[in-house]
Protein backbone atom coordinates (compact mmCIF):
# COMPACT_ATOMS: atom_id res chain seq x y z
CA UNK A 1 0.00 0.00 0.00
CA UNK A 2 1.41 3.41 -0.82
CA UNK A 3 0.34 7.00 -0.46
CA UNK A 4 2.21 10.00 -1.87
CA UNK A 5 5.31 7.95 -2.54
CA UNK A 6 5.42 6.39 0.93
CA UNK A 7 5.04 2.61 1.20
CA UNK A 8 4.01 0.85 4.40
CA UNK A 9 5.68 -2.43 5.25
CA UNK A 10 3.93 -5.21 7.20
CA UNK A 11 5.78 -3.99 10.30
CA UNK A 12 4.28 -0.49 9.83
CA UNK A 13 7.72 1.02 9.11
CA UNK A 14 7.57 3.77 6.44
CA UNK A 15 9.52 2.96 3.29
CA UNK A 16 10.32 6.02 1.11
CA UNK A 17 10.71 5.59 -2.60
CA UNK A 18 13.87 7.35 -3.75
CA UNK A 19 12.65 7.99 -7.29
CA UNK A 20 9.70 10.07 -6.08
CA UNK A 21 11.96 12.10 -3.80
CA UNK A 22 14.29 12.84 -6.70
CA UNK A 23 11.37 14.03 -8.83
CA UNK A 24 10.24 16.35 -6.02
CA UNK A 25 13.80 17.60 -5.59
CA UNK A 26 14.14 18.41 -9.30
CA UNK A 27 10.87 20.33 -9.26
CA UNK A 28 11.90 22.29 -6.17
CA UNK A 29 15.27 23.17 -7.71
CA UNK A 30 13.62 24.22 -10.98
CA UNK A 31 11.12 26.42 -9.11
CA UNK A 32 13.98 27.94 -7.12
CA UNK A 33 15.96 28.67 -10.29
CA UNK A 34 13.01 30.32 -12.04
CA UNK A 35 12.13 32.37 -8.96
CA UNK A 36 15.70 33.58 -8.50
CA UNK A 37 15.85 34.64 -12.16
CA UNK A 38 12.59 36.56 -11.77
CA UNK A 39 13.84 38.23 -8.59
CA UNK A 40 17.10 39.23 -10.26
CA UNK A 41 15.27 40.76 -13.23
CA UNK A 42 12.71 42.62 -11.11
CA UNK A 43 15.36 43.94 -8.74
CA UNK A 44 17.38 45.33 -11.65
CA UNK A 45 14.21 46.85 -13.13
CA UNK A 46 13.26 48.48 -9.81
CA UNK A 47 16.75 49.90 -9.27
CA UNK A 48 16.83 51.19 -12.86
CA UNK A 49 13.40 52.85 -12.67
CA UNK A 50 14.15 54.61 -9.41
CA UNK A 51 17.82 55.37 -10.03
CA UNK A 52 17.34 56.94 -13.46
CA UNK A 53 14.21 58.93 -12.59
CA UNK A 54 14.58 62.70 -12.86
CA UNK A 55 12.33 65.62 -13.73
CA UNK A 56 13.10 69.31 -14.08
CA UNK A 57 10.45 71.84 -13.11
CA UNK A 58 10.74 75.60 -13.62
CA UNK A 59 9.40 77.62 -10.70
CA UNK A 60 9.53 81.39 -11.08
CA UNK A 61 12.38 81.16 -13.64
CA UNK A 62 14.29 78.87 -11.26
CA UNK A 63 14.82 75.30 -12.41
CA UNK A 64 14.37 72.66 -9.74
CA UNK A 65 15.44 69.10 -10.51
CA UNK A 66 13.84 66.16 -8.72
CA UNK A 67 15.97 63.01 -8.41
CA UNK A 68 15.90 59.90 -6.26
CA UNK A 69 18.81 61.06 -4.10
CA UNK A 70 16.55 63.77 -2.67
CA UNK A 71 14.79 61.08 -0.61
CA UNK A 72 16.95 58.77 1.52
CA UNK A 73 14.28 56.06 1.42
CA UNK A 74 14.63 55.85 -2.35
CA UNK A 75 18.42 55.62 -2.06
CA UNK A 76 17.91 52.75 0.38
CA UNK A 77 15.56 51.07 -2.10
CA UNK A 78 18.07 51.32 -4.97
CA UNK A 79 20.90 49.94 -2.81
CA UNK A 80 18.72 47.10 -1.48
CA UNK A 81 17.59 46.09 -4.97
CA UNK A 82 21.18 46.21 -6.20
CA UNK A 83 22.29 43.88 -3.41
CA UNK A 84 19.39 41.51 -4.05
CA UNK A 85 20.11 41.45 -7.80
CA UNK A 86 23.79 40.60 -7.21
CA UNK A 87 22.91 37.97 -4.60
CA UNK A 88 20.26 36.41 -6.85
CA UNK A 89 22.65 36.27 -9.79
CA UNK A 90 25.21 34.41 -7.67
CA UNK A 91 22.52 31.99 -6.52
CA UNK A 92 21.33 31.46 -10.11
CA UNK A 93 24.84 30.40 -11.08
CA UNK A 94 24.93 28.02 -8.12
CA UNK A 95 21.59 26.49 -9.11
CA UNK A 96 22.70 26.04 -12.72
CA UNK A 97 25.96 24.37 -11.67
CA UNK A 98 24.06 22.12 -9.28
CA UNK A 99 21.65 21.04 -12.01
CA UNK A 100 24.48 20.44 -14.50
CA UNK A 101 26.42 18.30 -12.04
CA UNK A 102 23.25 16.46 -11.08
CA UNK A 103 23.83 16.81 -7.35
CA UNK A 104 20.57 16.34 -5.50
CA UNK A 105 21.35 17.39 -1.95
CA UNK A 106 23.98 19.72 -0.55
CA UNK A 107 25.60 19.77 2.87
CA UNK A 108 24.05 21.39 5.90
CA UNK A 109 26.49 24.34 6.27
CA UNK A 110 25.77 25.41 2.68
CA UNK A 111 22.03 24.93 3.19
CA UNK A 112 22.18 27.07 6.34
CA UNK A 113 24.15 29.75 4.49
CA UNK A 114 21.59 29.87 1.65
CA UNK A 115 18.67 29.92 4.09
CA UNK A 116 20.27 32.73 6.14
CA UNK A 117 21.10 34.74 3.02
CA UNK A 118 17.54 34.44 1.70
CA UNK A 119 16.16 35.51 5.08
CA UNK A 120 18.41 38.58 5.21
CA UNK A 121 17.51 39.60 1.66
CA UNK A 122 13.79 39.10 2.32
CA UNK A 123 13.87 41.36 5.40
CA UNK A 124 16.06 43.89 3.59
CA UNK A 125 13.69 44.22 0.64
CA UNK A 126 10.62 44.40 2.87
CA UNK A 127 12.19 47.19 4.92
CA UNK A 128 13.29 49.10 1.80
CA UNK A 129 9.87 48.85 0.14
CA UNK A 130 8.08 49.87 3.33
CA UNK A 131 10.29 52.95 3.75
CA UNK A 132 9.96 53.93 0.10
CA UNK A 133 6.18 53.43 0.14
CA UNK A 134 5.83 55.67 3.20
CA UNK A 135 7.87 58.40 1.52
CA UNK A 136 5.80 58.00 -1.65
CA UNK A 137 2.56 58.46 0.30
CA UNK A 138 3.89 61.67 1.86
CA UNK A 139 4.97 62.92 -1.57
CA UNK A 140 1.57 62.08 -3.05
CA UNK A 141 -0.74 63.39 -0.33
CA UNK A 142 1.52 65.64 1.72
CA UNK A 143 1.11 66.31 5.44
CA UNK A 144 -1.07 69.39 6.06
CA UNK A 145 -0.47 69.32 9.82
CA UNK A 146 3.26 69.80 9.23
CA UNK A 147 2.76 72.01 6.17
CA UNK A 148 4.40 69.45 3.88
CA UNK A 149 3.21 70.08 0.35
CA UNK A 150 2.14 67.47 -2.20
CA UNK A 151 5.28 67.10 -4.32
CA UNK A 152 3.61 64.90 -6.93
CA UNK A 153 1.39 67.79 -7.99
CA UNK A 154 4.51 69.42 -9.42
CA UNK A 155 6.56 66.36 -10.39
CA UNK A 156 3.93 64.04 -11.82
CA UNK A 157 6.22 62.12 -14.20
CA UNK A 158 8.83 61.66 -11.49
CA UNK A 159 6.28 60.26 -9.05
CA UNK A 160 4.75 57.90 -11.61
CA UNK A 161 8.10 56.31 -12.43
CA UNK A 162 8.96 56.05 -8.73
CA UNK A 163 5.64 54.28 -8.20
CA UNK A 164 6.52 51.75 -10.89
CA UNK A 165 9.88 51.16 -9.24
CA UNK A 166 8.29 50.63 -5.83
CA UNK A 167 5.76 48.21 -7.35
CA UNK A 168 8.62 46.19 -8.86
CA UNK A 169 10.37 46.28 -5.50
CA UNK A 170 7.23 44.98 -3.80
CA UNK A 171 7.17 42.01 -6.19
CA UNK A 172 10.83 41.39 -5.35
CA UNK A 173 10.13 41.35 -1.62
CA UNK A 174 7.12 39.02 -1.96
CA UNK A 175 9.14 36.69 -4.19
CA UNK A 176 11.95 36.69 -1.63
CA UNK A 177 9.48 35.62 1.05
CA UNK A 178 8.37 32.67 -1.11
CA UNK A 179 11.99 31.84 -1.88
CA UNK A 180 12.82 31.86 1.84
CA UNK A 181 10.13 29.24 2.35
CA UNK A 182 11.66 27.09 -0.40
CA UNK A 183 15.16 27.37 1.09
CA UNK A 184 13.72 26.49 4.51
CA UNK A 185 12.13 23.39 2.99
CA UNK A 186 15.43 22.41 1.36
CA UNK A 187 17.29 22.91 4.64
CA UNK A 188 15.01 21.06 7.04
CA UNK A 189 14.48 18.26 4.55
CA UNK A 190 18.13 17.32 5.17
CA UNK A 191 17.33 16.69 8.81
CA UNK A 192 14.27 14.66 7.78
CA UNK A 193 16.47 12.47 5.59
CA UNK A 194 18.74 11.75 8.56
CA UNK A 195 15.76 10.70 10.66
CA UNK A 196 14.55 8.36 7.94
CA UNK A 197 18.00 6.82 7.70
CA UNK A 198 18.10 6.31 11.46
CA UNK A 199 14.66 4.70 11.52
CA UNK A 200 15.71 2.49 8.59
CA UNK A 201 18.62 1.13 10.62
CA UNK A 202 16.28 0.21 13.46
Average pLDDT over residues 96-108: 71
Answer yes or no: is pLDDT of 9 > 80. Answer: no
pLDDT value for 77 = 95
Residue 10 phi, psi (nearest 5): -60, -25
Q: What is the pTM of this model?
A: 0.78
Is residue 85's pLDDT more than 90?
A: yes
Task: Identify the CA nearest to 20 among candidates 2, 43, 39, 38.
Answer: 2
Complete domains list, the chain, with CATH: 12-191 (1.20.140)
Q: pLDDT band at residue 21, thresholds of 50, 70 and 90?
A: low
Decide which of 64 and 43 is more confident: 43
The pLDDT tens digits of the residues spanning 26-49 come to 788 888 899 999 999 999 999 999
132-173 pLDDT per residue, tens: 999 888 888 877 666 667 778 888 888 899 999 999 999 999
**Higher per-residue confidence, 159 vs 191:** 159
Question: 81, 132 in Cβ contact below 8 A?
Answer: no
The CA-based dihedral angle spanning residues 17, 23, 25, 30, taken in that order and rounded to the nearest 10 degrees: 180
**CA pair distance 82, 38, nearest whole angstrom:** 14
Amino acid sequence: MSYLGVGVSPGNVPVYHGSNLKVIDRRVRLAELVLRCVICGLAILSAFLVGTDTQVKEIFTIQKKAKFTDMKALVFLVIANGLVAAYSLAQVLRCVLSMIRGSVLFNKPLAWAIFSGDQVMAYLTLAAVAAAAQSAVLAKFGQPELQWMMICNMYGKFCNQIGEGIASGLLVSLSMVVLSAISAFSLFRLYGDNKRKSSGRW
